[in-house]
Structure 1
Amino acid sequence: MLNISNNSVSKDLDLTNFKSGKEIFTKEYHKRFRKFLLVFSFIILIILFLPWTQNISGKGSVTTLKPNQRPQTIQSQIPGRIEEWFVREGDFVKKGDTILRISEVKSDYFDNQLAKRTQDQLNIKTLSVDAYKNKVVALKGQIKALQQERILKLEQAKNKLTQAHLKVKSDSIDLEAIKTKNMIAKTQYERAVSLQKEGLKAVKDVEEKRAKFQEANAKLISQQNKYLTSQNNTINAELNISTLKATYADKIAKAESSLYTAQSATLDTEAQVSKLEINVANYTKRNSLLYITAPQDGYINKAIKSGIGETFKEGEELVGIMPADYELAVEMFVRPIDLPLIHINEDVRVQFDGWPAIVFSGWPNASYGTYGAKVVAIENFISSNGMYRILLAPNKETQPWPTAIRVGSGAKTIALLDNVPIWFELWRQINSFPPNFYQPDKTASTTDKKKK
């Protein structure tokens, strides 16, 4: 039966005579199998020519579309010590609500009245500036008065000089006239003496002529003295002008020196006032920083520095906050080789963790549990994980995303590329070729927008 012996019995025994043999050996199973293979091959052939959407799969996480809508931490701009908390983790806060109060740890700012006392110093310095400005105005008035007085005094001295010149000229003329009279008196005296010697004149006449001659000499000497006095007065008048110029120049120089000193003091005091104004503004601002407030509406996530009395440095994280209003997005990461295939406004299907889905990557319309998205941003620099970051926004033309998903949850993405036959995709996968590189038809999309 089993043909394990050298003695064959198949020639002597016909199995088709048995009932079981008739059921087995009389039927032609190969014909049915051949028909099955033909139908299966035909179906496979049809499937190979069905359209297949090339895609790039990736993993990512849920984030927000705008940077200011993402979870953030609140820091303190100054070092301090935690004194009091006004919120609990999970509380909703509005913009400007006080989260905690801190106190100073630097000895320079321990004084609670520091801003007020600095403001008092500022007020005093401001009054000092006003006083210096008044002094500057007074000195300018003094200088102007000295300049006017110098002009008048110089005019007066010049008039005296002119008078002295005229007096010298007058005395000079008088001197010349007296010299002429003296010469005449001398001539008459000498003639009288000569006539008296000849006996033609009496002694009395000679004595009269001598007296007139002596009187003329006296007048000449007197006039010469007056002339010299007039010249001396002229010199004195010129000297007086020089003295006036020097005196008033010295007075004006001293007044101008005092003016410049007052102006310098004014500028120095104004600089001190400016510094005090800066200090007042800084101290006032620093006092406001003792209360940490919410930068926007949101929920308190976690208190990073929690203990009362705990100290921290400036810039340290104190508490985390999640904004209340946000627009969800998904960040996906693609390989550098796939980056040229991604374009802005490219269609992407997203599967969120926790939401059941049946995914056919090549037939996105047949998938269940995935949601539509579009590429809104492509990072131009590679991330630390060796991949490029792509930001996806919800596609408003498809089913809206679930409202229960939260920022930070995981997501799987399928970027939809070119449509190709299945046989081409199988051939590409077998040869490890990348998906087809293509450029989206921007002209057509632009035309559609213009028509709308």
Structure 2
Amino acid sequence: MLKVSRKAKIEKDFKLSRYASYRMTVVGSQAKRQVNILYGIGIFFLLFIFLPWTQNTRGRGRLIALEPEKRPQTIHSIIAGRIENWFVSEGDFVRKGDTILFLSEIVDQFMDPQLLDRTQKQIDAKGFSVTAYNQKIIALQRQIEALTIEQRYRLEQARNRVIQAELKVKSDSISFEAAKVNFEIAKKQLVRSESLVEDGLQSLTQLENRKNTFQREQVQIIAAENDLLSSVNGLLNAKIELNSVQVDFDNRLAKAESDLFTAKSSMFETEIDLTKLENQYSNFKVRAGNYYVVAPQDGYITQAIQVGIGETIERGAKIASILPSKYQLAAEIFIDPIDLPLIQIGNKVRFIFDGWPAIVFSGWPQVSNGTFGGKVHAVDNFTSPNNKYRVLVVPDPDEKPWPEPLRIGTGANGILLFNDVPIWYEIWRQLNGFPPDFYELDFGAIYKKK
């Protein structure tokens, strides 16, 4: 019999493992391990994508000084000149006011070694001229005052003469009228005497007496008229003299005032010349002081741009560069315009400095090593020539300080930190090209802490 009952097992009679097709359908221990590994990886990935991730954006830049006046600068020559002597070398420390080099003059206008002394003599001479004009003005003013007083008295005297002449005219006019009355009386008495003599009632002697009286009165009336005419003429002369005095003093005062104004004008012109000379003297003195090029502040001479002895330089030429000795470091980094709306004053930043090794997990700044903290200090309101926005970052006082050997110009790679999100969300955001999530700082707490 074939023994094909249900309970019978084929393995007892046949070894299936001898067949390759069978062996391919049987799950082995190695395959089970691979499946378990895949399950483990899947579970780990599922748990991993729910881990927190700090969103960030990167910006490349360099270290600078926070204060503009503390940044590296070049020293310029204020005047054109010839280099005569250097007093420093590259790398030397200088203090504010220390001499860096000495220049000699190359402009013909300023080559006179006694330029300042001769200019000072011109200033002194102009000053004496101003003083002389001032004294002349004072003398003319006194002359005008004296003429004014004399004019008042002379006019008063002339007016008094006019009044005296008017009174004399009145007096002579009265005398003339009295002489006319006496003449008429004498004339009538003579006529009556002649009638009486013809009638034989009066003697010839009395008639002759009347004739003498008539002739005397005739003389008196002529004399009185002559006196009256003389008085009228004297009145006219007095009035003419009054007018002459007025005109004479007016002319003398006008001339004195003209001389006064001329003296004032000359004094003002001299003062203008004096001011110009004083300005030139100050310019010459300042220029002489610029022969010595001095350090504008404490710092180190980093590079001599103009070299050699006897080399001529133009006005405004660069002579040397200086790095201030005391400054506060800050980092300027550049970010893309898409990230600008997310940047706020006080945002946290992690830095990787050139020359300082670091292990960086951008999404987990807590476990990164070799990075240094910073805070956003300022953000530009316009793009830089590279079409990116400049962000100024200062050291975070709550973090460990930046390395002491850092110098201005060191490269800095900044990581600006934003919101904490799951990893799956960050992957989805990156695939869709969305910007990081926006979050707001608690400025009240920040200022309170400050």
**TM tier relative to shorter chain:** over 0.9
Q: What is the CA deviation profile of residues 105-130 of structure 1, one whole-angstrom value per residue up to 9, with x for unaligned ones?
A: 11111112212211111111111101
1:185-200 alignment runs, 5 A limit: 185-200=186-201
Q: Does the CA-based 8 Å contact 2:419-2:439 persist in structure 1?
A: no
Given the alignment of the two structures, is residue 123 of structure 1 paired with residue 112 of structure 2, yes or no?
no
Partner of 1:80: 81
Secondary structure at 2:236 match in 1: helix
Change (3 A) 1:215 1:428: same
Q: Which amino acid aligns with 1:363?
A: W
Q: How many residues align?
A: 435
CA distance in 1 between counterparts of 2:133 and 2:419 reads: 82
CA distance in 2 between counterparts of 1:293 and 1:448 reads: 44
Partner of 1:382: 383
CA distance in 1 between counterparts of 2:117 and 2:111 reads: 13
Given the alignment of the two structures, is residue 426 of structure 1 paired with residue 427 of structure 2, yes or no?
yes
Partner of 1:148: 149
Change (3 A) 1:13 1:243: farther
Q: Does the CA-based 8 Å contact 1:346-1:415 persist in structure 2?
A: yes
Stretches of structure 2 that go unaligned for 5 or more consecutive residues are 1-12
Q: Does the CA-based 8 Å contact 2:418-2:439 persist in structure 1?
A: no
Q: Does the CA-based 8 Å contact 1:16-1:25 persist in structure 2?
A: no
Q: Does the CA-based 8 Å contact 2:147-2:253 persist in structure 1?
A: yes
Q: What is the CA deviation profile of residues 405-448 of structure 1, one whole-angstrom value per residue up to 9, with x for unaligned ones?
A: 11111111101111111001111112222222x2523xx32155
Q: Does the CA-based 8 Å contact 1:73-1:318 persist in structure 2?
A: yes
Secondary structure at 2:201 match in 1: coil
Change (3 A) 1:111 1:265: same
Partner of 1:349: 350
Stretches of structure 1 that go unaligned for 5 or more consecutive residues are 1-11
1:71-110 alignment runs, 5 A limit: 71-110=72-111
Give the C-alpha shift of residue 73 in structure 1.
0.5
Q: What is the CA deviation profile of residues 245-300 of structure 1, one whole-angstrom value per residue up to 9, with x for unaligned ones?
A: 00000000010010000000110011111111111111111111100000011111
Given the alignment of the two structures, is residue 440 of structure 1 paired with residue 449 of structure 2, yes or no?
no
Partner of 1:69: 70
Give the C-alpha shift of residue 16 in structure 1.
4.1
CA distance in 1 between counterparts of 2:449 and 2:87 reads: 56
CA distance in 2 between counterparts of 1:451 and 1:424 reads: 33
CA distance in 1 between counterparts of 2:92 and 2:30 reads: 75
- Give the aligned CA root-mean-square deviation in angstroms: 2.0
Secondary structure at 1:356 match in 2: coil
CA distance in 2 between counterparts of 1:15 and 1:26 reads: 14
CA distance in 2 between counterparts of 1:14 and 1:108 reads: 121
Partner of 1:236: 237
Change (3 A) 1:271 1:13: farther
Q: Which amino acid aligns with 2:444?
A: T
CA distance in 1 between counterparts of 2:299 and 2:345 reads: 31
Q: Does the CA-based 8 Å contact 1:48-1:421 persist in structure 2?
A: yes
CA distance in 2 between counterparts of 1:447 and 1:414 reads: 23
Q: Which amino acid aligns with 1:84?
A: N
Q: Which amino acid aligns with 1:79?
A: A
1:170-189 alignment runs, 5 A limit: 170-189=171-190
**Percent identical residues:** 46
1:49-68 alignment runs, 5 A limit: 49-68=50-69
CA distance in 1 between counterparts of 2:443 and 2:170 reads: 111
CA distance in 2 between counterparts of 1:294 and 1:447 reads: 44
Q: What is the CA deviation profile of residues 199-230 of structure 1, one whole-angstrom value per residue up to 9, with x for unaligned ones?
A: 11111111110010000000100010001111
* TM-score computed with the length of structure 2 as normaliser: 0.93
